[in-house]
Amino acid sequence: MPVHVRAEPGDFAESVLLPGDPLRAEYIARTFFESPRLVTRERGMLGYTGSYRGRPVSVQATGMGCPSAAIVVEELVQLGARNLLRVGTCGGYHRELQLGDLVVATAAAPQDGTVSSLTRGVPYAPAAHFDVVHAAYHAAERSGRRTFMGPVVSSDLFYDPVEDPAGLWSRLGVLAVEMEAAAIFTIAAMRGARAGCLLTVSDTIGEEVVRISDEDLRAAVDNMVELALDTLHG
Ligand code: ADE
């Protein structure tokens, strides 16, 4: 049994949704799964398994930041997970991004310590698995939701004293900032699993930071989770 995700092989489905927030994991399981079962609660990092349209699926909280996500993903793979889909929020850098938009991350620039520790500082481009990106693209297209596909940056900082310094990330075509995808993509690649990442824009970062309301965030995240389940099981 792994040290942190305390569960047995077979407790998790091969396909796992990965929100950062444990309470969002609980909400997803109770709202969208048939017959949800709590499979781990170690450190409050809740994980559930149930089914969606009759097929097994799990949801596991990663916590915040790449170090936490790296532990969780490594242990999920040890437990038999093969398809990993982060569902989270992001801060939008791209000028056209509006609050509540969906971002499908194709890659995640690793502005974090975890990926460079794993690669021993060797330059590396963490990327989502093509199969997951492809399925997410079609799920988003079917839903009609405003969707942007492209790279994001995974930062160690939520409260960054210098957001998007000199517009660097925007000029490089990076759509948004979040905090876990780079580690999830890297560990999945190292361990032969497939990973992807869907994000709802919860704040836009320009001259000033503008945040989404709680109510609009809830609706946008609900829609994203349906899309994520379609991506895994569509
Ligand atoms: N997740 C949502 N908004 C974010 C931001 N501004 N920075 C990092 N992660 C985020």
3-state DSSP assignment of residue 70: helix
pLDDT of residue 81: 98
For residues 176-182, give the mean pLDDT. Answer: 98
Alpha-carbon dihedral sign for residues 165, 175, 98, 29? negative
Closest Cα to atom 7, ligand 1: which residue? Answer: 158
Pocket of ligand 1 (CB under 6 A): 89-91, 155, 158, 177-179, 202-203, 205
**Predicted confidence (pLDDT) at residue 207 exceeds the cutoff of 90:** no
Q: How far apart are CA 49 and CA 22, in angstroms?
A: 14
Q: Tell me which residues are annotated as active site.
A: 203
pTM passes above 0.95: yes
**Predicted confidence (pLDDT) at residue 234 exceeds the cutoff of 80:** no
CA of 91 relative to ligand 1 center, distance in Å: 4
Position 146 confidence tier, pLDDT thresholds 50, 70, 90: very high
Q: How far apart are CA 132 and CA 232, in angstroms?
A: 8
Confidence check on the interface: ipTM exceeds 0.90, yes or no: yes
- Atom index in ligand 1 nearest the CA of residue 179 equals 9
DSSP for 147-174? Answer: EEEEEEEEES-SS-SSSSGGGHHHHTT-
